[in-house]
Amino acid sequence: MENMKAVRVHSYGGPDVLRFEDAPRPTPASGEVLIRAHAAAVNPIDWKIRAGYMKDSVPMPLPFIPGYDVSGVVEAVGPGVSHFKRGDEVHARADAVHGHGAYAQFVIAKESEAALKPKSIDHVHAATIPVAAVTAWRALFDTAGLKAGQKVLVHGAAGGVGSFAVQLAKWKGAYVYGTASDSNLEFVQQLGVDRPIDYETTRFEAVVRDADVVLDTIGGETQKRSWQVLKIGGVLVTLVGLNSEDEATKHGARSAAISAQGGSRVLAEVSKLIEAGKIKPIVATVLPLSEARRAQEMNESGHARAKIVLKVA
């Protein structure tokens, strides 16, 4: 069996359990593609899984390769794959739950979670899209049904999901409130936020009234205080779990949680917007694959701007 370079986790723990080492190169099964990776983006779920916080809901085979976001070139396809062939440039949500994640030279993804890479961007930028942009799309459009002229509050507007959500909401024609710390206020304004709110000095509920949609990327107190900014019939979409089912009913609103699966349809929609210059992925930091530990530490701080990407080739 051929080997490859990869980052692996042999036991759950802090960032120091991430090991850059040789690992067996995976082979694609039925319906899967094997991608020769150029870049992998970092998401909070990567370190939540690494730390063992999700071992009940997402039990991992040990050792495993973390990472969901990959962009690269199709190396081989498994039986039954009809949309891709060797040599295609693709980006995809990797099959990380089975241990073949994106922090590696060769990565497995289901055909249904892959799409051709937008031609106008490189692999580093394309790797940021499968989790963050697809999540933002599904939350705002598939789940909340955001329409032109509506008002949306995006919490964590400077983050991975937030930076796409702001651009998607503006493209749709919505009015966008966005929370961020002082250091990111100008950044979120450049992304398109109409009314940036410094969450450290201003209570957002004193500014936002009658919102149609709240995108909650933060949870806790932020979620609790968000119900009151919604209009009757408004919707709060949370990415981090609902505190209380009762809150929605109490405020005449509804709540919804999303999952980021079934991505190739949404990837194709997002690609169209990127090719048309309507939205763009923002990469704040690029590190070599061997520095995955540092990349996860930065993301785990909770204050990283837009996306952190590991360059593989």
Ligand X SMILES: NC(=O)c1ccc[n+]([C@@H]2O[C@H](COP(=O)([O-])OP(=O)(O)OC[C@H]3O[C@@H](n4cnc5c(N)ncnc54)[C@H](OP(=O)(O)O)[C@@H]3O)[C@@H](O)[C@H]2O)c1
Contact with ligand X (CB under 6 A) among 26, 28, 44, 66: 44
Contact between 105 and ligand X by CB under 6 A: the answer reads no
CA distances from 134 to 80, 88, 140, 173, 195 (A): 25, 21, 10, 19, 24
Count of chain residues binding ligand X (CB under 6 A): 31
Contact between 161 and ligand X by CB under 6 A: the answer reads yes
Does residue 109 contact residue 70 with C-beta atoms inside 8 Å? Answer: yes
Contact with ligand X (CB under 6 A) among 7, 230, 239, 312: 239
Contact between 97 and ligand X by CB under 6 A: the answer reads no
Long-range contacts, 184-192 (Cβ 8 Å, 24+): 184/157, 184/158, 184/305, 187/158, 187/305, 188/157, 188/158, 188/162, 188/163, 191/157, 191/163, 191/166, 191/167, 191/282, 192/166, 192/167
CB closer to ligand X out of 155 and 170:
155
CB closer to ligand X out of 18 and 34:
18
Report 124-153 residues binding ligand X (CB under 6 A): 131-132, 135
Contact with ligand X (CB under 6 A) among 64, 103, 199, 227: 199
CB 156 → ligand X: shortest distance, Å?
4
Contact between 160 and ligand X by CB under 6 A: the answer reads yes
Contact between 240 and ligand X by CB under 6 A: the answer reads yes
Question: CA–CA separation, 126 vs 280, rounded Å?
Answer: 10
Contact between 223 and ligand X by CB under 6 A: the answer reads no
Contact with ligand X (CB under 6 A) among 34, 43, 144, 264: 43
Contact with ligand X (CB under 6 A) among 150, 184, 223, 296: 184
Contact between 303 and ligand X by CB under 6 A: the answer reads yes
Kindly report the backbone phi and psi dihedral angles of residue 66, in degrees, each rounded to the nearest multiple of 5, phi listed first: -75, 175
* Torsion from C-alpha of 64, 97, 159, 129, nearest 10 degrees: 110
Query: Residues 6 or more apart from 243 whose CB is under 8 A from it?
Result: 219, 220, 223, 224
* Torsion from C-alpha of 103, 105, 111, 116, nearest 10 degrees: 100
CB 259 → ligand X: shortest distance, Å?
5
Contact between 201 and ligand X by CB under 6 A: the answer reads no
CB closer to ligand X out of 132 and 214:
132
Region of 167-175, 263-271, 280-288, 296-304 interacting with ligand X (CB under 6 A): 296-304
Does residue 72 contact residue 37 with C-beta atoms inside 8 Å? Answer: yes
Region of 224-232, 254-262, 279-287, 290-298 interacting with ligand X (CB under 6 A): 254-262
Tokens 């990349």: give the residue: 295
Residue 232: CA count within 13 A, CB half-sphere: 0
Does residue 222 contact residue 216 with C-beta atoms inside 8 Å? Answer: yes
Region of 179-187, 242-250, 263-271, 283-291 interacting with ligand X (CB under 6 A): 179-187
Q: 152 in helix, strand or coil?
A: strand
Q: Identity (one letter) of the amino acid at 179?
A: T
Which residues of the shown chain bind ligand X in the complex (CB under 6 A)? 43-45, 131-132, 135, 155-156, 158-162, 179-181, 184, 199, 217-218, 222, 239-240, 258-260, 299, 302-305
